Amino acid sequence: MAGRVEIRVGDLFSEHCDVIVLPSSRSGTITSRTRADIETHRIPPPRYKKALGETELIDLPNGHNIARFVCWAASVARGTSTKSALSDIGGTLALYSEILPGVQIVSAPLMGSGAGGLDKITSVEGLAEGFLGRRPQSGVLRLYERDRSIAKRLQELVDNISTDFSVASTLTGTGPLTGEQFGRLQSALLESFSENGLKMMTRIELDVVYDAIVGHGDLTFQIFSLISWAERNNRIPDLIRGARSRNPGNQQLREFARSMGIE
């Protein structure tokens, strides 16, 4: 079954999931309501500053009553949010459901509709379009709304978005990297480069400073951030060509480049 978005009636913390998504500002500040929730459920706060639309994934202890991971999403900057930022977040959540072993259900609030000043329709559109645009194979994004009548209207909106994306994918086959493609590229770069090798490749081939564009974390997460940066800046072809130039003998990179029509 293809990935989907569901509007759930109730509280975000009422159902177990694999990844629970919580909103923060770019600087890592959170609302008093969110702080009370994480204290109640023993969830760690954000650890570092982020760009708008960037996420931070943290493992929760084994047997946690809510989720396996918490994802802090920078959905607000200077008191405002944007549909584009929510779409970036939605796309990242789809990737989590494709790349992280055993992750299928991702639960999130209607981000941006509180402190970010957006209406709920715009929030749902941004998150759903970002998530479905990745064409996840089986991931489920659950968005929570307490009012049953509002939830019903939002589900109708989601169903229309799902239909539109299904038709567009069938007709054009275009869009961002799918979760499967993203995972293959991540695997190829992991096999091909050390951290120092990636720093050299990005400086020489892409003319960017590695530490300025990747997130905190281990090499796997750094490469996740690198690919995400390349997508946002329309530089996936440059990244693939640069990686191939520095490591021409790697079979995974060669096969991926060919599958993307780059060589």
248: exposed, middle or buried (C-beta count within 10 Å: 0-12, 13-18, 19+)?
A: exposed
pLDDT of residue 1: 59
Radius of gyration, alpha carbons of the chain = 18
pLDDT of residue 178: 81
Average of per-residue pLDDT across 93-98: 92
Average of per-residue pLDDT across 67-89: 94
The verdict on 82 and 45 lying in the same domain is yes
Number of domains in the chain: 2
Share of the chain above pLDDT 90, in %: 68
What does the mean pLDDT of the chain come to? 90
pLDDT of residue 32: 93
pLDDT of residue 79: 87
pLDDT of residue 261: 86
pLDDT band at 89 (very low <50, low <70, confident <90, very high): very high
Average of per-residue pLDDT across 118-127: 96
The verdict on 237 and 153 lying in the same domain is no
Residue 29 has pLDDT above 60, yes or no: yes
* Angle (nearest 5°) at CA 128 between 234 and 221: 50
> Token pair of 80, please?
């405002």
Closest Cα partner for 77 from 17, 134, 10, 26?
A: 26
User: Which CATH number does the domain housing residue 57 bear?
Assistant: 3.40.220.10
The verdict on 166 and 191 lying in the same domain is no
The verdict on 19 and 120 lying in the same domain is yes
pLDDT of residue 263: 73
- Residues 227, 185: contact at Cβ < 8 Å? yes
pLDDT of residue 165: 66
- Residues 262, 240: contact at Cβ < 8 Å? yes
The verdict on 245 and 141 lying in the same domain is no
> Which residues share a beta bridge with 19?
69, 106
The verdict on 121 and 242 lying in the same domain is no
Residue 88 has pLDDT above 90, yes or no: yes
Average of per-residue pLDDT across 83-108: 93
- Residue numbers of the domain that contains 140: 4-172
pLDDT of residue 171: 37
The verdict on 140 and 254 lying in the same domain is no
> Token pair of 50, please?
């982020």
The verdict on 38 and 149 lying in the same domain is yes
pLDDT of residue 170: 38
pLDDT band at 138 (very low <50, low <70, confident <90, very high): confident
pTM of the model: 0.81
Average of per-residue pLDDT across 212-241: 87
249: exposed, middle or buried (C-beta count within 10 Å: 0-12, 13-18, 19+)?
A: exposed
Q: What is the pLDDT of residues 164-186, one digit of tens each?
A: 665 444 334 445 788 888 989 99
* Angle (nearest 5°) at CA 25 between 80 and 83: 45
The verdict on 162 and 195 lying in the same domain is no
pLDDT band at 67 (very low <50, low <70, confident <90, very high): very high
The verdict on 138 and 197 lying in the same domain is no
pLDDT of residue 166: 58
Residues 73 and 28: their CA atoms lie apart, in Å, by 9
The verdict on 20 and 126 lying in the same domain is yes
